[in-house]
Amino acid sequence: MISLQVFYEGSVQGVGFRWSVRHIATGFDITGWIRNLADGRVEMQINGEESEVRGFLDAIMQSELAAHIRKQTETKLEKPVSARGFEIRHD
């Protein structure tokens, strides 16, 4: 199992980014969440087997969303992300 925090920068708010990522997530055995940040970035935290997590991140970059992403930064998390399924957070 791997847990990651991923930040996306670019034109990632107001374009259906979170909704599209949630849709892509349905094809993978992962849990986690995604939310907009006040500084214009999008934050995502995910758990899963490394192959599933990497496949999910690759699927995002191979989708139409790639045109909106200028930068992707990821960090491994020490503790698993607390989530049921994959959800959009509004906090």
Active site annotation includes 22: no
Three-class DSSP category at 40: coil
Candidates 18, 22, 47, 54; catalytic one: 18
Candidates 22, 35, 36, 47; catalytic one: 36
Active site annotation includes 18: yes
Instruction: State the DSSP string of 42-89.
Output: EEEEEEE-HHHHHHHHHHHHHSGGGGGEEEEEEEE-SS----SSEEE-
Q: Which residues are catalytic?
A: 18, 36
